[in-house]
Amino acid sequence: MNLFITGIGTEIGKTVCSAILTTYFKADYWKPIQSGDLHYTDSMKIKDWAGKQTICHPETYRLILSASPHQSASEENISIKIDDFQLPKSANHIIVEGAGGLMVPLSDNEFMIDLIIKLNIPVAMVVRNYLGCINHSLLSILALRQKKIKLEYVIFNGDFPEDTERVIRKNINKETKIINIPEIESLTKGNIECITKKIKIQDHEYKNRAQKQLE
């Protein structure tokens, strides 16, 4: 299975979740746009966390400035176009990691969600708990529905209040599956492997059914 890893915002753990899913599916990894942090890219992190044997396909764009891709590209007089991107050829699964959220601009007219449409692969959406995460989650879900993009997984990354997780789950389509990933204190290959072995992929009604059985 090929998956596009997106998030409801930035700095919410997409690369960590990508490492876990890359390990879980024994997949290749591809970061189409690396914007900033060229000294330690997300592909390098995947190699550290998922293992040196992981195939990381080269980025289409490697941009110096740590900013939105459209701004980083402008600083280098580069124009990013959706047609520049092609899913790498591989006999293996590929985990594709986006930059930021769905509406991060690649140019003045094209956004990360347009790249997902171009690649034509389902999405795994990473959610992290913070004030405003419900609003950002539901808006992201609505955007995917509007564009008829399949939301294969919602990944709850870290600890969540029950009320927060419940509301988000209630607004997910029935076919969307849920993955809960615990807080990770130390990002090491060993810890990633340990968490990967404990992953349970659930349908979105799993917790509701479990709770009713206890009542």
Q: Is the pLDDT confidence value at 205 over 80?
A: no
Going by pLDDT thresholds of 50, 70 and 90, the confidence category of residue 202 is confident
Q: Which pTM does this prediction carry?
A: 0.91
Interaxial angle between packed helices 206-214 and 162-170, expressed in degrees from 0 to 180 and rounded to the nearest 10 = 120
Tokens 């740590």 sit at which residue? 66
| Whole-angstrom distance, CA of residue 57 vs CA of residue 89 | 9
Q: Give the mean model confidence (pLDDT) for residues 40-54.
A: 95
Q: Cite the active site residues.
A: 31
| Whole-angstrom distance, CA of residue 156 vs CA of residue 182 | 8
Q: Cβ neighbours of residue 159 under 8 Å, at least 6 residues apart?
A: 129, 182, 183
The neighbour count for residue 81, using CB atoms within 10 Å, is: 11
Using the CB atoms, write b or e for 181-195: b if 16+ within 10 Å.
Answer: beebeeeeeeebbeb
Is 98 annotated in a binding site? The answer is: yes
Question: Using one digit for the tens of pLDDT, what is the confidence trace for 137-167?
Answer: 999 999 999 999 999 999 999 999 999 999 9
Question: What is the C-alpha end-to-end distance of the chain, expressed in Å?
Answer: 37
Q: Give the mean model confidence (pLDDT) for residues 178-200.
A: 90
Q: Cβ neighbours of residue 116 under 8 Å, at least 6 residues apart?
A: 4, 6, 98, 102, 123, 147, 149
Backbone angles phi, psi at 32, to 5 degrees: -60, -40
Question: Using one digit for the tens of pLDDT, what is the confidence trace for 68-82?
Answer: 999 999 999 999 999
Is 91 annotated in a binding site? The answer is: no
Calculate the alpha carbon distances from 211 to 117, 166, 178, 205, 206 in Å.
Answer: 37, 12, 16, 10, 9
Instruction: State the pLDDT at residue 12.
Output: 92
Is 59 annotated in a binding site? The answer is: no
Two tokens, residue 192? 């990633």
Calculate the alpha carbon distances from 15 to 8, 83, 151, 163, 175 in Å.
Answer: 13, 24, 18, 26, 24
Q: Any idea which of 34-43, 50-59, 115-124, 181-190 has the lowest mean pLDDT? A: 181-190
Interaxial angle between packed helices 42-50 and 189-198, expressed in degrees from 0 to 180 and rounded to the nearest 10 = 70
Is 42 annotated in a binding site? The answer is: yes
Domains of the chain: 3-214 (3.40.50.300)
